Chains A and B, each alone.
Chain A
C-alpha cells in the first residue's frame, strides 16, 4: 500500500535528510517510525502526504506515485489519508465540532453528510460531549482526540501520526495510544513517528528505526495477524 523504493532526499543546505530508504507498509498494518529528533521521520510522513518529493527513488501510496504525481491529484490523495501532529493544528477560533467538520467542508460535502460524519467521528474518539468547546478549553489529550476525529472524518485508509503524544500528559498518551489501536483494529493502517522509545517498546507493533536518514532496523510485529486484530477493546497498559 505504501512503498518507498531507494528514496533519498537532500535539502538546500546539502544535508541529506533521507538516504536510500526502502520499506513497505501493508493495508491495515500498524507501524512505528522511531529515531532521534532530526533523523528524518517527519520527512518520511510528508513524502507519503506528497508534501515533499524524493530527489531519488519513488514513493508509492495506493495508486499514486511520486514520480508522476500531478499537482491537481494531491488533494485526492490527501482526502484518503488522515494526519495528526504534535501541535494538533486545530483552528483556535473554531469549536471542536467545527474543526472536525472543516475537513469535510473543504471537500464540498453536503451539510447533512458533514453533520452525520462529524458526529460519528467525535463519538469514535469519545469527544462528542465537548463538541462546542474551543480548543483552548481542552487538555492536550483531548485536543489530540479532536485532531484524530478530524483525521478520521474522511474515512482514511491510512492514519499518519507525527509525534502525536509529544504535547500530551502520560494519562492522555495512554488514551491516544488506545485510540490509535482501536482505529487500527477497525482496519485503518496507522503509521506513527515518535522519538519516545519507551512508549513503542511496550506495544507489539512493527518498528522501523531510523538513524541519520537510514532505516537501521525493521522489527516485525510481535503478534500473529489474528491476534493483532483482536486487540480491539482490550485495555492498554504501559506499566
Chain B
C-alpha cells in the first residue's frame, strides 16, 4: 500500500528505542554467531567425512591354502553380494608394492624380508548407498563366510567413531537451533512490545480513524525483521572474521556458500518476524475492542 510509510515508522521505532534495539540486534547476532559456528563445524566435518567416502571399502584376505581357482570363485561370490559394486584382486606382489609405496622412507626395513608375508586379497568396493558403518559390517560378515576368505578388515573403529561424532554434531545443531530461536524470538518480542507501548496512542488513533490491523501491524513486523536481518549480518560478519583467522592458520576450512548464507539470513529475518508477530498480535488483542 504505502511502503514508504512502513519504512519510516519501522526506522522511527528503532530510533525511539535505541538501546533496546541495540540489545536485541546484538543478542541475535550473538545467537546466530553461535549457531553459525556450529553449523560451520558440521559442514566442514561432513565434507571431511565425504572425502573419506572412497575409503569405504573392505579388505578381504585370502587364505594361504586356497589355490588360484578358489580365489577366483571367491571373487565372483563377493561380487554377487548386494551392495558390492566391485571386488578388485590384489596379488601378493601388488600388496607389497603398495605397502612399500606407503612406507617409502622406511623401505629399507622391508628389504630385509626374504619372503613376501603379505596375503592375497580382494578390495571390496561398496555401492554409494552402502557407505556407512552398519552396511559395511553387514557386508563384511557375508564376505567373511565365503570359502577361501580368511579375514576381513575395514576401518570399523574410526569410521564408527566418526559417524557417532557426526550424529552428535547434528543433534547439537538442532538443540542449538531451538535455543537460539527461542532466545531471539523472546528478545525481539520484548523490544517490539516496548515500541508498541511507546506507540500505543498512535495505534489507538489509527484504529479510530479506520486503519486495518494489517496496516497497523506492518511497521512493527518490518522492525522485527530488520532486527533479525541486522543481527544475522553482524553475527555472520564476526563469524567470517574468525573463519579467515582459522583458515589462514589451518587451511582447508570452508565457509557458507552463498546459498547457505541466504538461508541463514532468511532464518534470522524469520525469527524477527516471528517475535514481532507475537508481540503485535498480543498487543492488538489486549486493546479495547480488540476482539
Contacts and interface: CB of A to CB of B under 8 A. Distances in A.
A91 B201 contact: yes
A89 B210 contact: no
B289 A52 contact: yes
B210 A108 contact: no
Given A49-B208, A71-B291, A89 B2 contact: no
B237 interface: no
Interface string B200-223: 011011111111110110000000
Interface stretch (A14-22, A98-106, A117-125, A185-193): A98-106
B288 interface: yes
A78 interface: yes
A74 B207 CA distance: 9
Contacts of B205: 89, 91, 102-103
Given A76-B210, A78-B209, A78-B210, A108 B2 contact: yes
B1 interface: yes
A72 interface: yes
Contact of A89 (B1, B208, B215, B289): B208
B288 A89 contact: no
Contacts of A72: 212
Nearest to B212: A75
Interface string A10-53: 00000000000000000000000000000000000010011110
Contact of B209 (A46, A52, A71, A106): A106
A107 interface: yes
Q: What's the dominant secondary structure at chain B's contact region?
A: helix
A143 B204 CA distance: 18
Contacts of B201: 89, 91
Contacts of A103: 205, 209-210
B5 interface: yes
Nearest to A50: B289
Nearest to B205: A89
Range of interface residues on A (Cβ < 8 Å): 20 to 34
A206 interface: no
Contacts of A74: 210, 289
A51 B209 contact: no
A52 B2 contact: no
B209 A79 contact: yes
Interface string A137-168: 00000000000001000100000000000000
Contacts of A154: 209-210
Interface of B: 1-2, 5, 201-202, 204-213, 215-216, 288-289, 291
25 contacts: A49-B208, A51-B207, A51-B288, A51-B289, A52-B288, A52-B289, A71-B213, A71-B291, A75-B212, A76-B210, A77-B210, A78-B207, A78-B210, A80-B210, A81-B210, A91-B201, A91-B205, A102-B205, A102-B206, A103-B205, A106-B215, A106-B216, A107-B211, A108-B2, A108-B215
Given A49-B289, A107-B209, A150-B209, 12 more contacts: A52-B288, A71-B213, A75-B207, A75-B212, A89-B201, A89-B208, A102-B209, A103-B209, A106-B209, A106-B211, A106-B215, A107-B210
**5 A-B pairs with the lowest CB-CB distances in the bound complex, closest first:** A106-B211, A78-B210, A79-B210, A51-B289, A103-B209
